[in-house]
């Protein structure tokens, strides 16, 4: 049977996390799908039977070519009219794909996203909130990557993806922002599902941990697409990410860079980082209906 959705999952050297991601993909309810894992030079290679299921197949790059090239390989092998992306360290709610398909088809949209939560290495929810509206996403793409949760959150029609073009292998951390801008400009606005459908794992090995690359690439995106960067926002985010990873002095430098670009409030954040670093790591988080819904399906997956 031809699947309705092809799930493309790039991976490298994260077999344990990959296993959880694949369980969440293969556990999708109400939709025929295939899962294409692109092993981008893992050592040892990803075994074909990592998660036994006839809908899963593994292809391999013998030498690592990067996440964009891996996604492009998976896209070429996809057979379905819809394509979804799932990074190897993220998880999906069991009705993620079906909810987004319904939203996209109701709105006549070529692509869709949902809401998300952030989890730690133990899959405990540490933050989360409803996503912005499609109109807000379109407006904000002109200054920052406004699609929450990155590529793992998006489902797109294969013909729209072909019209937008492949992911750019020269980009290491901003390839998804580049894609969403192109997709919007060629194929129109997305649809949205205001429910927590994706859990993004925050860990030291995540792509966003190298902030020098991140901050260099946003300048590339600005020049390429003539967008007006919100640099203060990017430097604040870089500072918080560095602090979460334990790089306290880098965090202070990033907040100083935000201050130099007019973010006076960053000075107060520096004081907190110096005097109370544990407090500075925290985001405002309180258990509510949003996080409770996510915790339910995350707990089931973790079991």
pLDDT of residue 57: 95
Domain with CATH 3.90.550.10 in the chain: 5-206+288-302
pLDDT of residue 278: 61
Stretch 39-56: mean pLDDT: 94
User: Domain 5-206+288-302 belongs to what topology?
Assistant: Spore Coat Polysaccharide Biosynthesis Protein SpsA; Chain A (3.90.550)
The pLDDT tens digits of the residues spanning 182-193 come to: 999 999 999 999
Stretch 93-122: mean pLDDT: 97
Separation between Cα atoms, residue 203 and residue 232, nearest integer Å: 24
Which residue matches tokens 């205001």? 194
Separation between Cα atoms, residue 257 and residue 244, nearest integer Å: 18
Beta pairing partners, 38? 10, 59
Q: Is the pLDDT of residue 204 over 80?
A: no
Separation between Cα atoms, residue 107 and residue 195, nearest integer Å: 17
Dihedral sign from CA coordinates of 243, 207, 257, 118: negative
10: part of which helix (H) or strand (E)? strand 5-11
CB 75 within 8 A of CB 166: yes
Residue 24 backbone dihedrals phi, psi, to 5 degrees? -70, -30
216: part of which helix (H) or strand (E)? helix 211-225
pLDDT of residue 206: 57
pLDDT level of residue 259 (50, 70, 90 thresholds): confident
The pLDDT tens digits of the residues spanning 210-223 come to: 788 889 999 999 99
Per the model's pLDDT, the better-predicted residue between 61 and 203 turns out to be 61
pLDDT of residue 287: 75
pLDDT of residue 281: 52
The pLDDT tens digits of the residues spanning 139-160 come to: 999 999 999 999 999 999 999 9
Q: Is the pLDDT of residue 205 over 60?
A: no
92: part of which helix (H) or strand (E)? strand 90-92
Comparing 3-17, 154-168, 245-259, the range with the smallest average pLDDT is 245-259
Other Cβ atoms within 10 Å of 80 Cβ, number:
19
3-class SS at 296?
helix
Stretch 259-279: mean pLDDT: 73
């Amino acid at each position: 049977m031809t699947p309705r959705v092809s799930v493309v999952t790039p991976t490298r050297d994260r077999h344990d996390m990959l296993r959880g991601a694949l369980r969440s993909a293969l556990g999708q309810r109400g939709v025929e799908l295939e899962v294409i894992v692109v092993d981008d030079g893992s050592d040892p290679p990803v075994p074909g039977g990592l998660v036994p299921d006839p809908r899963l197949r593994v292809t391999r790059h013998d030498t690592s070519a990067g996440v964009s090239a891996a996604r492009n390989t998976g896209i070429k092998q996809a057979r379905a009219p819809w394509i979804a992306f799932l990074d190897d360290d993220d998880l999906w709610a069991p009705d993620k794909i079906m909810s987004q398909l319904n939203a996209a088809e109701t709105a006549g949209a070529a692509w869709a996203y949902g809401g998300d939560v952030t989890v730690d290495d133990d899959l405990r929810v540490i933050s989360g909130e409803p996503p912005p509206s499609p109109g807000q996403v379109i407006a904000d793409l002109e200054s920052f990557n406004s699609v929450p949760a990155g590529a793992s959150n998006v489902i797109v029609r294969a013909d729209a993806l072909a019209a937008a073009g492949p992911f750019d292998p020269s980009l290491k951390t901003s390839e998804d922002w580049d894609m969403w801008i192109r997709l919007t400009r060629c194929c129109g606005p997305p649809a949205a599902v205001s429910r927590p459908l994706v859990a993004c794992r925050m860990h030291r090995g995540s792509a966003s941990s190298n902030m020098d690359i991140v901050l260099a690439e946003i300048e590339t995106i600005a020049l390429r697409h003539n967008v007006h960067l919100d640099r203060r926002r990017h430097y604040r985010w870089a500072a918080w990410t560095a602090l979460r990873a334990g790089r306290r002095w880098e965090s202070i430098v990033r907040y100083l860079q935000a201050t130099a670009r007019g973010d006076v409030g960053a000075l107060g954040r520096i004081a907190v980082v110096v005097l109370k670093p544990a407090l500075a790591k925290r985001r405002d988080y309180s258990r509510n209906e949003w996080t409770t819904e996510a915790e339910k399906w995350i707990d089931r997956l973790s079991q």
